[in-house]
Amino acid sequence: MGSFALLFGFALWLCWKKRRRTQLTRLQRLVLSLLCVAGSLSSLVCMVAPLLPGWPVLFFSHNRWFALVLLGIVGSLVLAWGSSELPRRSALVREKARSLAREKELREELQRAYEERDRLYQEQAQAALTDTVTGLLNHRAFMQRLDEAIARGQTERSGFLLVFLDVDHFKTINDTWGHLAGDEVLRQVAERLRTALHAGDVAARYGGDEFALILDDVPITRAHEEGERLRRIIQSPPYSGPGLGEPTTEVSVTTSIGVAAYGIHGTQPNRLIDQADQAMYQAKLAGRDCVRVTGARTTFPGQMV
């Protein structure tokens, strides 16, 4: 019994002397202290009782004395177990809480890493399909959209116009103002094309100073009208901006436009592109700054189309 009393005393000493290391709450420390005191007293009673055989008779009958001693022994064992187990269980609970918090933090970091990876992947995919100067689709992306438009036309029996547009005298702009000014003109042309598009239309920089457009669900009867609309939007107002001389300097930009219609002038990408390109070439032969539709009979100096 003396060993039990020493055990409780040692636990009480640990509870208060090493309270910073045990990391118990005030309530847990108070309950543990009461258990240690109760266990120590119970152990002392059980230890002293056999030395004073006449003392219990003053308070208890002989039949109840054995039960009291047995209860004291069992209580001492239970209290000893509780005084040693409570800090361990508390430490395990705190460690589990820390592990769960750390696991949650790692999951959140992993989720953020996945989101960042997806964002970078989308940016790279977008960059692979976007022209860096104008922000429009590049040649590769335009060919994909043209294939999609042809497939949709074959499925839905719908049509579209393929428009090729070339900036007139673009080399002169580069030679006069420099390539930075030429890039600025291309950016402004692209911006004006964006404002001219309707839902379902596609605009791209086909290459160099050439742009290509897909005008969705537009009949051949409106081909020249749509080409003229684009030509006027690009031509007016004059261009100005970085690289184009003084701030008050304005540069007039015109375009030669060729138009071909899906179904009438071809149903394959290469055929449609060739027809629109030929119509654009005819617009240049006509003196530039005009629109030509594939198959339209127009007379030029020394030529018949």
Cα atoms in the Cβ-side hemisphere of radius 13 Å centred on 256: 19
Active-site annotation holds for 209: yes
For residue 258, give the H/E element and its range. strand 255-261
Catalytic residue among 209, 216, 277, 289: 209
For 253, what's the count of Cα atoms within 13 Å in the CB-facing half-sphere? 30
Strand pairing report for 303-304 and 255-261: unpaired
Strand, coil or helix: 165? strand
| Lookup result for tokens 């049509």 | 159
Structure tokens at 304: 């018949």
In angstroms, the Cα distances linking 120 to 114, 116, 127, 138 are 10, 6, 10, 19
Which tokens hold the place of 256?
């030669």
Q: In terms of C-beta distances under 8 Å and separation of at least 24 residues, what long-range contacts does 263-269 make, across chains too?
A: 263/153, 263/159, 264/159, 264/220, 264/295, 265/294, 265/295, 267/150, 267/153, 267/154, 268/150, 269/143, 269/146, 269/147, 269/150
Q: Which residues are catalytic?
A: 209
